[in-house]
Structure 1
Amino acid sequence: MMKGKAFVHYVRIKLGFDRPHTQTTWREQQKIKQYSKGANLAAEIGVYEGVNTLNIALSMSEKGTLYAIDPFFPGILGICWSKLIARHTIQLNGFMNKVIWIEDLSSAVASMIPENLDFIFIDGDHTWNGIEADWLNYSKKVSIGGYIALHDTHCKQGEDVSHKLDTYKYYREVIAKDERFEEIDSIDSLSVLRRKA
């Protein structure tokens, strides 16, 4: 956002005139809600303004715990407006008791996240090294029968991915071939996998 726009957006959200921004489509959000439904233990990598943090918190078990991981890099004034917006969104909806905020890179905090996740949504670092680190660190934490949703990974069969983000390439070359998981759903750029082994 341009200088000052993030602050104005934050104020407008606090006053109820704006909604938090997201990079996910409405259809992708519905899938995130569907597959996080009833989860006792969930994680999200890449919180941004908290839209999907809220979607997961709404859908998961009433006593569930959600680990919300994001470095929340500060802007020019040393403030990360998206962090304030995300926390406001969760607090406004009464879910602060469900969310454990982890303000760091996902690669630095993997050891803090428990095993046996019922659901994880990954929408973090879109570089090859970033998605590789998230896959290696977090796919093993998903319980058998649990779900992992990955943003900016789904493309049509035979589609040229050479011009796309590394997340698409890594998904096609590595994740889609991982025998522990099977792709069970996809919509827009979201892929959903279930752990089978």
Structure 2
Amino acid sequence: MEETFISSKPSGNEQSIDLNQITLRPFHLSDLDDLMVWRTDEKVAKFCSWEPYTSKEQGISFIENIPNKFLWCKAICLNNRAIGRVSLKSRSPHDKSRNKTAELAYVLASKYWGKGIATYVVKQVVKVAFSELSHLERVEAFVDVENVGSQRVLEKAGFQKEGTLGKYLVMKGKSRDMIIFSVLSTDLQL
């Protein structure tokens, strides 16, 4: 699992954002400075498998290796500035006949938490997953038990909580309990 989810707690900056200004697009090397804002933020990395970046070379490597890591990955953009990332990862990316499940993950710059952006994006990605990646029957997401904000995001986006996976993974040297959420293609009216 490359990443788990960030928190979506209000950040104190409650300025309203027009969700129609949120777009999803491929990452470009020109996004490096924007990417570094959230990839260097300890608050963002708290529930992620990665440590905050310490160099731009790490950001360049991330952008250049997206095709090798994900089934589908896009920059979450506000006014064409990359404020986060959303991705789908497959257990068997080269064998669609055996793999009907994709894992959803997303990251959002902390200054945009609590504004409805993550919920909006997750809803859009689920539609894309089941329409553009027609072999998929299930999208699942794993959330740290302490990450209440992301649990709310998934619930608002129509995901069902399936249960808690005790000591599911070791992250940053500590065993973590994770909650698994899912949405099935049959759950949606596309």
TM norm structure 2: 0.32
Higher relative contact order (CA 8 A, sep 6+): 2
- Output the TM-score relative to the length of structure 1: 0.32
Counting strand residues as a fraction of each chain, which structure ranks higher?
2
More helix by share: 1
Structure with higher Rg: it is 1
